[in-house]
Amino acid sequence: MWCWMAVSFGLRAVRQWCYRWNRRERFVKMDRIKAAVLFDCDERQREELEAAGKDMVEFVYVPEDMSREERLPMLKQAQIIFGQPGLREIAQCENLHWIQMSWAGTDIYTARNGFPREVALTNASGCFHIVIPEYVIAVLLELCRNLKTYAVQQQERKWSPIPSEMLLYGKRALILGAGDIGTGVAERLCAFGVKIIGMRKTDRNYPDCYDGMITPDELDQELQKADIVINCLPGTAATKGLLNKHRLCLMKEKAFLVNVGRGNVIDTEALVSVLKDGHLGGVALDVVDPEPLPEDHPLWHMEKVVLTPHIAGRSFGFSKDTENRIVHLWCQNLKRYLEGKELVNRVSFETGYASK
């Protein structure tokens, strides 16, 4: 009899435990945070995201080829969105608490009206300090060694050395925007023996890869000394039109200009004008204003200009290394979000910059 009672008690205990566990499972599934991912992540990246979610997050992976009308119901349920939804979509997402971008530039939101300020916005600053600087080195070497012209000669089966080249060694470079990307450029230019001056809001405590640091009020003086000017600044109200015709004309006649920041930092009409006048030795533009350039725009046909379609920092579908860096950042921020901690790279709508 005692044996039977013990077995009966044990069975009741097991049934109660199973009942409580099933209730807990139903509760967890109902209560999990919904996160929409607007990129085609591979299996390893999904596993990393799922691990960071700790069974507290339900991920919905939205195919990139899905139309906005089709994906809107998914976004409406999301508390978190990884990617760059449109402002009209955001306005209809009543459950949304946080958007984690895969870009460093935030002007699609900060430079326009309509983003709900109660929604946290973080960017992917810190993930492009390799891929964009490598692009800068590539186009500078192209300009220095006339590789664009030689590529045309190859198509024409023409063997004709060009008696004008420039070395990076010994030159003076001015980097506008001495943040993560600008510092990555500076680190790589050091290996070529380039003297590097950076520009940022404060000139104190700058990294060793810089030979000096200026503030914006010293820009006009430094432009006259630089052999190379590289813009890494984001698009904000303060940076729009920074390189106007006056400042472009301050640059040396044979100076190189590279833009990997935002197109509207350079006055495009002014740039066309100074190039037609024979000023500047070469220009490489990965970003332009307007973007994309109209088919009849004169920049397309200028010999001294290298144009690329905003690919210096492309990630998903282009660079697996950069993809993984972005996903890792997402995971770190997701863990902070779940723990109630301050998010990394929180964007300020007043400055357009992200916190560290």
Token pair listed for 141: 């070497």
Residue 279 is among the residues annotated as catalytic for this protein: no
Give the span between the Cα atoms of 306 and 258, in whole angstroms: 9
Q: Which of 310, 328, 336, 346 is catalytic?
A: 310
DSSP state of 122: E
Residue 262 is among the residues annotated as catalytic for this protein: yes
Q: Which of 172, 262, 314, 325 is catalytic?
A: 262
Q: Which of 50, 142, 291, 336 is catalytic?
A: 291
Q: Is 181 left (phi over 0), alpha (psi -120 to 50) or beta?
A: alpha
Token pair listed for 350: 């007043």
Contacts 24+ apart (CB under 8 A), 330-335: 330/49, 330/52, 330/82, 330/100, 331/48, 331/49, 331/51, 331/52, 332/52, 333/100, 333/122, 334/35, 334/49, 334/52, 334/53, 334/57, 334/80, 334/100, 335/52
Ramachandran angles phi, psi of 189, nearest 5°: -70, -25
Residue 97 is among the residues annotated as catalytic for this protein: no
Alpha helices in the chain (DSSP H): 2-31, 43-53, 68-77, 87-91, 107-110, 131-144, 147-155, 180-190, 219-223, 245-250, 268-276, 320-338
Residue at 84: amino acid letter: Q
Question: Which residues does the annotation mark as catalytic?
Answer: 262, 291, 310
